Structure 1
């Protein structure tokens, strides 16, 4: 049975991965929405493109028309993530699109209160907006963190220069992670499953920092240093001090907030997942990921996501 999938923000990293997977299925027709079609990879020549920005209502209406499911791959400021998505959802309702896959792929934000992990506030607002709809069903895919970004310097866990893993807490806290590609594989499967609605928990792997360090040694033959930076209470104190010191300096505390809420159990997705619903997709564990990326590529792995499509 043929299906038409609309992908909003088709030039983004995740959207490129998703599109390349869906294009392998001869029963799938793809419509893409973006501001600049010149940025769409040449390999996407079979994709029907509609040009427009996130607030161009006529263009959005044209884009969603004829779609069986629309996937939002927007990633940006709160206005884009809330108001931009609401326009897409309204257009889906108006044009009879039965399902809408909301952005973004992340931790279990349904357990958060507004303001706790503020970058995820838009997801809370959009879920509430979709729950109130009667013409379009919302789909929310939870994957944990993107494994590709875990080893980047910005996250503050892996120091490539000294080969050191730095952690807060006991080191036995669970990290749930899924690669961009694996998350896109699951999302493609969800798009093809007309009965898939609501929250879907699709996670590649779950490991502690000590287990990740053990996998690192097993894969690369190098024993990393593992360094505790303090307790979870210490982390909580530091992230709030940094935020109060200069609220506008987001990068001084934002990743500390992510770190805290991901390992203190608040946003844990598992341990029960929905992976078994899609046995055709193989979960990519933390060690699987390391086996597919050279040690020297780890810190900059995010930069190549979506480039080889």
Structure 2
């Protein structure tokens, strides 16, 4: 036991902000599996984290001195914060400033999305926020790595209007052969943990658990289900853009991260191919067990 405690004391420290969320929780698990000492920054203690013996540190992001102390000794700060401008720009900006003040050498911002660098400014609010924060990160005296993974593969279970399980239809806009990137949260978390320990990680890393088109999804589901799944074309991307304009005009202003029109903006960036990932870095850390779209869909068909 004493030797195990000494080993933990000598382990590198990684601080995770947003550890109580789904992705943050998975990142914490992946880091602990690598014998990394984890400190979770939380608004209030989480029973789920406490049951796993994770060091939780309640801290107000508005308290810059306390936030700086909370990051002391870390080799990397991982942000898994989720929200709109008050979170992505303001709270995460304070986290970045505190990391610099604490002398933390590396920072992983909460990107975990499409390739926002290739999307058009003004087309997607959440991509615009990440683009704005990237400019701030690039101006800071800290080494940063953004992980781009496309949409989370869990959306295929029905959380997004792509796979319509009730009707055995795959809905698409534009071209049925446009490839999409899908990566599960656990795969993203595993790669993020490796990145946090990689002092030579570049500014951007691109990963995709599976690449498949709407047509490919319909074919895959037909093979898996034994029943015919058909494509359903909702229209071209111009029609989708018109619907986004109407939906946004009818939606009250809110800090909710995913109103209906925001999800539609993601679908547009997927359908046009502007957010598509290229030159993937999947093999950088030797990971081979990427979760396929068929593995994700298998549980829904069961």
Decide which of 134, 143, 147 is 2:153's aligned counterpart.
Answer: 147
Unaligned runs of 5+ residues in structure 2 are 1-9
Deviations 1:242-296, CA, capped at 9 Å, x for gaps: 33454648734222211111120211112x20112121342222123224x2326
What CA distance in whole angstroms lies between the structure 2 residues aligned with 1:284 and 1:110?
A: 25
What CA distance in whole angstroms lies between the structure 2 residues aligned with 1:222 and 1:52?
A: 52
Verify the 8 A CA contact 1:4 1:69 in the aligned structure 2.
yes
Verify the 8 A CA contact 1:65 1:95 in the aligned structure 2.
yes
Q: Is 2:146 the counterpart of 1:137?
A: no
What CA distance in whole angstroms lies between the structure 2 residues aligned with 1:9 and 1:251?
A: 21
Equivalence for 2:33: 24
Paired residue total: 290
What CA distance in whole angstroms lies between the structure 2 residues aligned with 1:40 and 1:3?
A: 23
Verify the 8 A CA contact 1:105 1:142 in the aligned structure 2.
yes
Equivalence for 1:100: 107
What CA distance in whole angstroms lies between the structure 1 residues aligned with 2:120 and 2:239?
A: 21
Decide which of 245, 267, 275 is 1:267's aligned counterpart.
Answer: 275
Question: Structure 2-normalised TM-score?
Answer: 0.89
1:1-309 matches, within 5 Å, as 2-26=11-35, 28-45=36-53, 47-134=54-141, 136-153=142-159, 155-246=160-251, 248=253, 251-270=259-278, 272-291=279-298, 293-295=299-301
Question: Structure 1-normalised TM-score?
Answer: 0.87
What CA distance in whole angstroms lies between the structure 1 residues aligned with 2:221 and 2:70?
A: 44
Structure 1 vs Structure 2 CA RMSD: 2.0
Unaligned runs of 5+ residues in structure 1 are 297-309
Verify the 8 A CA contact 2:76 2:104 in the aligned structure 1.
yes
What CA distance in whole angstroms lies between the structure 2 residues aligned with 1:37 and 1:247?
A: 32
Deviation, structure 1 residue 60:
1.4
